[in-house]
Amino acid sequence: MDTNTILASLNWRAAIKNFDPTKKLTAEQLNFVLQAANLAPSSYGFQPYRIVVVGNQAVKEKLKAAAYNQAQLTDADQILVLCSLKNTNEQTVAAYIKLISETRQISLEDLQGQKERMINTVKNQTPERVNQWAAQQAYLVLGFILAACATAEIDTCPMEGFNPAQVDELLNLADKNLTAKIICPLGFRAASDTYSKMKKVRLSQNELFINLN
């Protein structure tokens, strides 16, 4: 895919408000999006987040109620709920270091320095700051999801307009050490969607970029 095609895909993308409920993602399309999400960057590569995938219509109806009855939650085919870890500690760091060891065939002893640096980073921050850091990583994933979907002409609508406590309770996220941060419906735009027909409103490059070269 050349650069012009990528830019055309990003220009095609819109925050869709009206999804066509009759159009469904194939298993291959959904798997493509999830693979792209898994390849997103994160601090230390630690991935202090998880993504709940919701295709069940009854659960989507409940999510809609927790999101102020926004139709995207029930009309889109799949709903991604991006969640951050509520508690990052020595155990979660140790599990990640073990994964590095197994994936890269590096001994745990050789990874001890990295493990200690990560643990110290967590220990030297307040729990609030660690939670904020985890949430920020979830937004990096969102960017990858939006870009990947644009290249595959899969529609999205990133959403912060929901009651996090209600979503956490609905999906039993506390039991998984998670809290909901962003919701991203996936599907295909309805012909009646107006936002997809509007020109993008963006700053000029001269306004947006401050060039120090």
| Structural domain range at position 48 | 3-84+130-191
What does the pLDDT look like over 74-130, one tens digit per residue? 999 999 999 999 988 889 999 999 999 999 999 999 999 999 999 998 888 888 898
- Region 130-143: what's the mean pLDDT? 94
pLDDT at residue 1 tops 80: no
Instruction: Share the mean pLDDT of the chain.
Output: 96
- Could you tell me if residue 45 is inside a domain? yes
pLDDT at residue 137 tops 80: yes
Helices (H), the chain: 3-12, 27-38, 57-66, 72-75, 90-104, 112-123, 127-151, 164-170, 205-208
Q: Phi then psi for 113, rounded to 5 degrees?
A: -65, -45
- Could you tell me if residue 201 is inside a domain? no
Token pair 């020595």: residue: 90
Range 110-138 burial, b when 16+ CB lie within 10 A, else e? ebeeebeebbebbeeeeeeebbebbbebb
- Could you tell me if residue 99 is inside a domain? no
- Could you tell me if residue 20 is inside a domain? yes
What does the pLDDT look like over 143-170, one tens digit per residue? 999 999 999 999 999 999 999 999 999 9
Token representation of residue 137: 């990583």
- Could you tell me if residue 111 is inside a domain? no
Q: What is the pTM of this model?
A: 0.95
Q: How many structural domains comprise the chain?
A: 1
Token representation of residue 24: 């469904």
pLDDT of residue 123: 85
Q: What percent of the chain has pLDDT over 70?
A: 100
pLDDT at residue 7 tops 80: yes
- Could you tell me if residue 65 is inside a domain? yes
- Could you tell me if residue 41 is inside a domain? yes
Instruction: Name residues whose C-beta falls within 8 Å of residue 123's C-beta, 6 or more positions apart in sequence.
Output: none
- Could you tell me if residue 149 is inside a domain? yes
Amino acid at 182: I
pLDDT of residue 88: 87
Report angle CA 160, 161, 164 to the nearest 5 degrees: 75
CATH number at residue 187: 3.40.109.10
pLDDT of residue 89: 87
